[in-house]
Amino acid sequence: MIESHDPRSVIVAGGGILGCLTSLLLADAGRTVTLIEQNDDLWLETSSVGEGKVHLGLVYAHGTASTRTGMLSGALAFAPVVERALGHALDWSTLVGDPFDYLVMRDSLLRPDELAAVYRSLDDEHAGLGRPPYLGMAIDQLAAREPHTDETGVPAFATAERAVDPDALRALVVAAIAARSDRITVLPATRVQAVDQTDDRVRVRVSHPRSPDCVERTLEAAAFVDARWHWQGHGVQGVSVSPRNLRAKSAVMFDTEASARTVTLVLGPFGDVVRRSSGVYASWYPHARIAHEHRSFASTALLAAVEAANGSTDAESAAAEQTAALVELGLLSPDARALSVRTGVIIGEGSTDIHEHESRLHDRDGAAVALDGRVALPRSLKLTTAPSAALATATAVDTLLREDSAS
C-alpha cells in the first residue's frame, strides 16, 4: 500500500539529536515533516548514552588541525543552532556541568609540553575568531597555557570545555517537537526498511516490528533525510557504505556522592568522570569498550552486546572493572555504587584502536551533508557537530524543495 503524502513534505528517519534538530529546523523553514523512529520514543539511543561533552577540539590533540577546527566550530555553533531549532533562548547554565580538567596520564600518547603547544594553537584560533561565546558563555581561554599539578599528582590543564546533560537537552527538544505537531508528525515504533527515489519523489518502505501483523507500508515524500546513525544508508538504493570502525562503548551512572569532579584523562585509551546535577557519569575506556569491529554495518553480535549491557540487571557487576580503575586513580569514591550502565555504538574510521599513534580514531569529520538526488545523508560523528550538521541538512533540503517549486 502506498500512502501519498504532501508532495512538498520531508521524511526524516531517526529520532536522535540529529533527526530531531533537522525536523525542527525544517518545520521552522515552513516544511511539513514526518519523523520516523523505530523506538517507542525519541532520543533513546546514542544521543542519550554519552557524557555530552561539547568538544572544543582539545581531545583531538593527536589528530589533524582540521579535526580540531571542525570540533571548535561545531562547539561554537551548538547553542545558537539548538536555540534556533527550539525557537527560543536557553539558560545554558542549567544544562551544562563544571568545566573539565584534562589530567595527563603517565602513559599519555603526548607529553604535557606537546599537549600545551596544541592547546595554545587552538586557543589562538579561538582568539582569531574574536572569542565567540561557547554554550551561552563568554570564555577568555580554551585551556590553560601551562599544566598545573592535579590533586591526584599528575599534570593537568584547566579547560573551558563542558558537557551538556543529554537527558535535560532531550526533554527540551522532545517538548519542542510535540509543540510543532502542526508541522511535525512523529511515527514511533516504525522502522525504515528501504528507500528508493524517482525524479520527483522518494518512496520509503516502513514496518512496525512490534505490531502483531508486522504490517509494511510505503510512504512518499519529496525528500528523505537519513539520520539513523550507524544504520545510515542501510537499504537506501544507490548508497554504499564502506567498512568503518564500530565500537560498543559502555559508561556507568553513579549517584552524586560518587565524585565531585569533572575530568577527562588524556591522551589515549582512558576515560572521563562527569558530574551532573542528576548524578556522576564515568567511563574507563579499556573496560568500557565492550565490542568492536570493522564493518559497514554493525553485526548482530555487536548489537546484542549493546543490548545486554544496557539491559543489565546487575549494574554493579557490569560496571565493576571501570569503577575499580577510577577508584584506584582517586577519581571516584571507594563507596561509589553503580546505578545503571549506558552503552552505545561509536563510529570512527580505520580499524586500529585509540592507543595506537597511527589510529584514525584521533580524527573525526566535522559537520556536513551529502545530497544524493532527494536523499540527504547528514555527516556528524559527534553530539558536538550534530546541530551544525542538522542546520546544513535542513538548508540543503529546503533549497532542493524551493528548486522543485520554481521548476
Applying CB under 6 A, among 10, 11, 12, 17 the residue interacting with ligand FAD is 17
Options 191, 244, 276, 362; binder of ligand FAD; rule CB under 6 A: 191
Could you give the residue ranges of the DSSP H alpha helices within 186-253? none
Among 9, 34, 46, 388, binds ligand FAD (CB under 6 A): 46
> 62 in helix, strand or coil?
coil
Which pairing describes strands 289-295 and 10-13: parallel, antiparallel, or unpaired?
unpaired
Which amino acid is residue 122, in one-letter code? L
C-alpha cell at 212: 502483531
Q: Is 287 in the site for ligand FAD (CB under 6 A)?
A: no
Task: Give the nearer residue to ligand FAD in terms of CB position, either 251 or 338.
Answer: 251
- Distance of alpha carbon 334 from alpha carbon 325, whole angstroms: 11
Task: Check binding of 14 to ligand FAD (CB under 6 A).
Answer: yes
Asked whether position 39 contacts ligand FAD by CB under 6 A, the answer is yes
369 binds ligand FAD (CB under 6 A): no
Q: Which of 10, 52, 173, 180: binder of ligand FAD (CB under 6 A)?
A: 52
Candidate list 84, 275, 287, 382; residue touching ligand FAD; CB under 6 A: 382
Using the CB atoms, write b or e for 365-402: b if 16+ within 10 Å.
bbbbbeeeebbbbbbbbbbbbbbbbbbbbbebbbebbe
Q: Report the nearest approach of ligand FAD to the CB of residue 166 (Å).
A: 8
C-alpha cell at 224: 528523505
Residues 6+ apart with CB under 8 A from 324: none
Which residue, 23 or 108, is less far from ligand FAD as judged by CB? 23
CA distances from residue 185 to 29, 106, 188, 222, 370 in whole angstroms, order as listed? 16, 52, 10, 15, 24
Distance CA(286)–CA(338), nearest Å, equals 18
Grid coordinates given for 200: 520527483
To the nearest 10 degrees (0 to 180), the angle between helices 65-86 and 17-28 is 50
Minimum distance from CB of 347 to ligand FAD (Å)? Answer: 7
**Does the footprint of ligand FAD cover residue 383 (CB under 6 A)?**
yes
Q: Is 97 in the site for ligand FAD (CB under 6 A)?
A: no
251 binds ligand FAD (CB under 6 A): yes
Q: What angle do CA 203, 197, 209 make, to 5 degrees?
A: 35
Q: Is 259 in the site for ligand FAD (CB under 6 A)?
A: no
Smallest distance from ligand FAD to CB 343, Å: 7
Shortest Cβ 87–ligand FAD spacing (Å): 20
Selected from 157, 229, 254, 270, the binder of ligand FAD by CB under 6 A is 229
Contact between 38 and ligand FAD by CB under 6 A: the answer reads: yes
If the CB atoms of residues 45 and 349 are measured against ligand FAD, the closer one turns out to be: 45
- When asked if residue 381 is in the footprint of ligand FAD (CB under 6 A), the reply is yes
Cβ within 8 Å of residue 92, ≥6 positions away = 79, 135, 136, 137, 164
Number of residues forming the site for ligand FAD (CB under 6 A) = 36
- Which one among 23, 384, 388, 393 touches ligand FAD, defined by CB under 6 A? 384
Residue type, 60: Y
Interacting residues with ligand FAD (CB under 6 A): 13-19, 36-39, 45-47, 49-53, 55, 191-192, 227-229, 231, 249, 251, 344-346, 381-384, 386
